[in-house]
């Protein structure tokens, strides 16, 4: 195992809880500021290789900052290996490689976003997780004709957050893709 594969933070559970409470307070939107008549998408935004993505939190079950990865032979390159999380064995999925780009670099900011669809769960490796946002659905840009087809078929559109554009990943489309169906048949995912 390389030191990049193990992200053990040297902070106590109490310190971690304190940081989490502070971040929650910083990014929370007061209920009085949310117009309840507008349909909203609650999403988590993150970075993979300097590309911004968002994912609906309805598919997210957690974010892991510390994990050990075990490589498995003879699997597609976008499955980097597996990890044991609370007694569950999860595939570690490199979304960037899945799309045909270079592999995601692992560093101290790297995280696994736990996602699921139809009782299938895995961890998506990302470079950095930012915040959870509640975005009005009217702000979703469905026209993604400028995005390459190998990417656009896994997206629901684009969202602008703080003047930056993020691609909205459609987890059901990813999990129902031929690449993932083949893995399910082989019992990797």
| CATH number, domain containing residue 151 | 2.40.50.180
Q: Cα(42)–Cα(21) distance, rounded to whole angstroms?
A: 19
Q: How far is CA 29 from CA 32, 37, 80, 149, in A?
A: 8, 16, 36, 35
Residue 49 lies in a domain: yes
- Whether 26 maps to a domain, the answer reads no
Whether residue 108 lies inside any domain: the answer is yes
Q: Give the single-character DSSP code of 92.
A: E
Two structure tokens written together for 49: 């290789």
25 falls within a domain: no
Residue 15 in any domain: the answer is no
Spatial CA neighbour of 98 closest among 150, 41, 40, 52: 150
Mean pLDDT of 81-109: 87
Q: How confident is the model at residue 25 (pLDDT cuts 50, 70, 90)?
A: low
Average pLDDT over residues 130-135: 89
Q: For position 178, what pLDDT does the model report?
A: 82
112 located within any domain: yes
CB 168 within 8 A of CB 156: yes
d(CA 128, CA 126): 6
Q: Write down the pLDDT at residue 30.
A: 52
Query: Domains in the chain: how many in total?
Result: 1
Using CA atoms, how far apart are residues 48 and 86, in angstroms rounded to an integer?
A: 25
Decide if 177 is inside a domain.
yes
**What is the domain range of residue 155?**
35-185
Residue 158 to residues 7, 83, 102, 126, 171, Cα–Cα distance (Å): 31, 31, 22, 18, 14
Q: Is residue 3 part of a domain?
A: no
Burial of 119 (0-12, 13-18, 19+ CB in 10 A): exposed
Q: For 37-81, what is each residue's pLDDT tens digit? A: 668 889 999 988 888 889 999 999 999 988 888 998 888 889 999
Answer yes or no: are the C-beta atoms of 126 and 113 closer than 8 Å.
yes
State both tokens at 38.
């507008």
Q: What is the pLDDT of residue 34?
A: 43
Q: Which of 16, 12, 103 is nearest to 63 (CA)?
A: 16
């Amino acid at each position: 195992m390389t030191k990049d594969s193990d992200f053990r933070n040297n902070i106590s559970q109490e310190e971690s809880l304190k940081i989490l409470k502070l971040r929650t307070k910083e990014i929370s939107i007061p209920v009085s500021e949310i117009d309840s008549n507008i349909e909203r998408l609650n999403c988590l935004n993150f970075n993979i290789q300097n590309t911004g993505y968002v994912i609906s939190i309805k598919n997210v079950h957690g974010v892991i900052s510390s994990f050990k990865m075990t490589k498995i032979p003879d699997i597609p390159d976008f499955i980097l290996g597996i990890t044991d999380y609370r007694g569950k064995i999860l595939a570690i999925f490199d979304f960037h490689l899945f799309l045909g780009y270079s592999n995601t670099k692992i560093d101290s900011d790297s995280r696994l976003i736990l996602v699921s669809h139809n009782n299938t769960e895995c961890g998506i490796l990302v470079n950095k997780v930012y915040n959870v946002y509640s975005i009005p659905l009217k702000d979703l840009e469905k026209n993604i004709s400028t995005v390459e087809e190998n990417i656009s078929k896994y997206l629901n559109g684009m969202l602008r957050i703080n003047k930056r554009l993020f691609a909205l990943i459609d987890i059901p489309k990813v999990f129902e893709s031929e690449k993932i169906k083949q893995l399910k048949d082989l019992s990797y995912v």
